[in-house]
Amino acid sequence: MTYGGYSDKLVVDEHFAVRVPDGLALDGAAPLLCAGVTVYSPLVYYGLSKPGTRLGLVGLGGLGHMAVKFAKALGLEVTVISRSPAKRIEAMDRLGADAFLVMNDQEQLQAATATMDGILNTASGAHNLTPLINLLKTNGKLILLGAFAAPAEIPVFPMLIGRKLVGGSVIGGMKETQEVMDFAAKHHITADVEVIHIDYVNTAMDRLAHGDVKYRFVIDVANSLAPHT
Cβ contacts of residue 142 below 8 Å, gap of 6+? 118, 119, 121, 129, 132, 133, 136, 164, 165, 166, 167
Sign of the alpha-carbon torsion through 56, 62, 68, 71: negative
Integer Rg of the chain from CA: 19
3-state secondary structure (DSSP) of residue 168: strand
DSSP string of 118-149, one letter each residue: EEEE---S----HHHHHHEEEEEEEEE-S---
Mean pLDDT of each 10-residue bin along the chain, 229 residues long: 77 92 95 97 98 97 96 98 95 97 96 98 91 97 91 90 95 96 97 95 95 93 70
CATH 1.10.600.10 holds for 26-190: no
Q: Nearest-CA neighbor of 219 among 195, 199, 202?
A: 195
Predicted local distance difference test score (pLDDT) of residue 227: 64
Q: How far apart are CA 155 and CA 51, in angstroms?
A: 30
Sign of the alpha-carbon torsion through 82, 85, 87, 89: positive
Q: How far apart are CA 59 and CA 119, in angstroms?
A: 11
**CB-facing half-sphere around the CA of 102: CA atoms within 13 A:** 11
Give CA torsion, residues 90, 96, 102, 108, to 10 deg: 150
Q: In this structure, what DSSP letter does residue 71 have?
A: H
3-state secondary structure (DSSP) of residue 20: coil
Cβ contacts of residue 222 below 8 Å, gap of 6+? 8
Predicted local distance difference test score (pLDDT) of residue 104: 92
Judge whether 48 and 69 are in contact, CB under 8 Å.
no
Going from N- to C-terminal start, the domains of the chain cover: 26-190, 192-224
Judge whether 153 and 175 are in contact, CB under 8 Å.
no
Predicted local distance difference test score (pLDDT) of residue 226: 63
Give CA torsion, residues 172, 80, 55, 192, to 10 deg: -40
Q: How far apart are CA 49 and CA 41, in angstroms?
A: 10
